[in-house]
Copies of this chain bind each other. A is one copy, B any other.
Amino acid sequence: MTDAGRDGKPDAETPGTVEGRGSDVIARIHRAIRQRILSGDLPPGTHLAAAEIAGEFRVSRTPAREALLLLASQGFVDVIPNRGAYVRNWSREDIEEVFDLRALLEPHAAARAASRASAQDVAELEALASEMETASRSRSASDRDRLAVLNDRFHRRIASIAGGPRLERFINDTYELVLQAWTFGTFSDEDMARSMMHHRDLISAFRTGDAALAHAVMESHILNARRRYVDRPEAGIDFAED
């Protein structure tokens, strides 16, 4: 079972020094650095020195280095031999590719999920959709953040229900970026209503096991998001024009 755990918030402030052996140091560093890259805290081109990271997380250079290697294998940083890791530049083409891949992968996942979703799965998705609708009626920053988290969980849950480990991994790898690009900040009321309706349509398709419908709804859902993004790219990541 995949980590159905908490939201993507890294427990940045762990009071005291819980030098817990056995706590997965590599994974923690990996998540923290990835979060900083996605949030723009570490701008593209930044040199990530192993010693620096090690010092900050109070560990040695070995786990820091291994976390960097993992980030490299996922495409977040480029590792140049004997020179270290550099935060990768996300170009406009990168973002567009991500949307293309989402438009390819997620409808496929939705169709599979429609064929496999249990009543329990549908109930979970409905709970998420209800929460999102509640949050969507507010414009407070915290509710918008919560909406992004819930939306993330909703889509990941569908990928999980689809039941293919590689498909799920691809979607999750692809999805990271979207979280940053798509902050719900630019949604009009109409956009928001349509997005919420898409979720309900998806759930409906899941309940009746209608794979073709789920596929179509998800595709339109993604393509809408893509269009919204392409129309106003300045709202997302500031691109490095190099």
Contact = CB atoms under 8 A, between A and B. Distances in A.
Which label, helix, strand, loop or mixed, suits the secondary structure of the A interface?
helix
Interface residues of A, number: 42
Contacts of A65: 66
Contact of A73 (B17, B77, B94): B17
A73 B75 contact: no
A169 B15 contact: no
A97 B164 contact: yes
A27 to B, nearest CB: 10
A105 B88 CA distance: 24
Query: In the assembly, how many copies of this chain are there?
Result: 2
Given A62-B62, A98-B166, A16 B74 contact: yes
Contacts of A51: none
Given A16-B72, A104-B108, 11 more contacts: A15-B88, A16-B74, A16-B76, A18-B69, A18-B79, A65-B66, A69-B70, A70-B73, A73-B74, A94-B165, A166-B173
